[in-house]
Amino acid sequence: MTSARLLLRLLPLLLVLLATPMARADVYGDVSQLVRGGRLAEAEARADRHLQAKPRDPQMRYLKGLIQRDSGRQAEALETFTKLTEDFPELPEPYNGLAVIYAAQGDYDRARDALELAIRANPAYATAHENLGDLHSRLARQSYCKALQHDPGNGDLKTRLSTLGIVCP
């Protein structure tokens, strides 16, 4: 068989192989796994290498923000998430990332605003709804305890606190 005929016979197989994405390392999965394993410096180095080639990649930029946050570099994470919300306002995750940091800093108003933006970006984003519920619960607890502080004899409030399982300091 001539090489031309062999090539013609193999052509359909070659086309299938070329059309099939080659197995490649899932860099997002690798970085996420390194983060879950607490290997933040290694995860960040991997993310940085990826971002050198694809600096606008929102998924890797988000992972980088998580790495910064988990590394205790809140200001850098805030900057990363803020820039993501500017570049990709339709993505809910960066707003949620901002909210987590704001809530940890005790800035509940900004946390609530960020969560509401996340929900506006994706009304089905369960994580943002859950975090907003947690935030409202925390604010309710603070308000109830402050009310009890100012009116320690309020029996109705004590009953409500007991029903909700809230213990005030």
Judgement on whether residues 32 and 83 belong to the same structural domain of the protein? yes
Per-position DSSP letters for 29-54, written without gaps between them: HHHHHHHHTT-HHHHHHHHHHHHHH-
Judgement on whether residues 83 and 126 belong to the same structural domain of the protein? no
Total tally of structural domains belonging to the chain: 2
Residue 100 phi, psi dihedral angles, 5° rounding: -60, -45
For residue 9, the model assigns a pLDDT of: 53
169 found inside a domain: yes
Q: Which residues of the chain have pLDDT under 70?
A: 1-25
Judgement on whether residues 81 and 136 belong to the same structural domain of the protein? no
Query: What is the domain range of residue 127?
Result: 106-169
The residue among 88, 114, 132 that closes a domain is: 88
CA–CA–CA angle 145, 146, 147 (5° rounding): 90
For the segment 19-32, what is each residue's pLDDT rounded down to a tens digit?
Answer: 434 434 599 999 99
For residue 17, the model assigns a pLDDT of: 38
Judgement on whether residues 114 and 140 belong to the same structural domain of the protein? yes
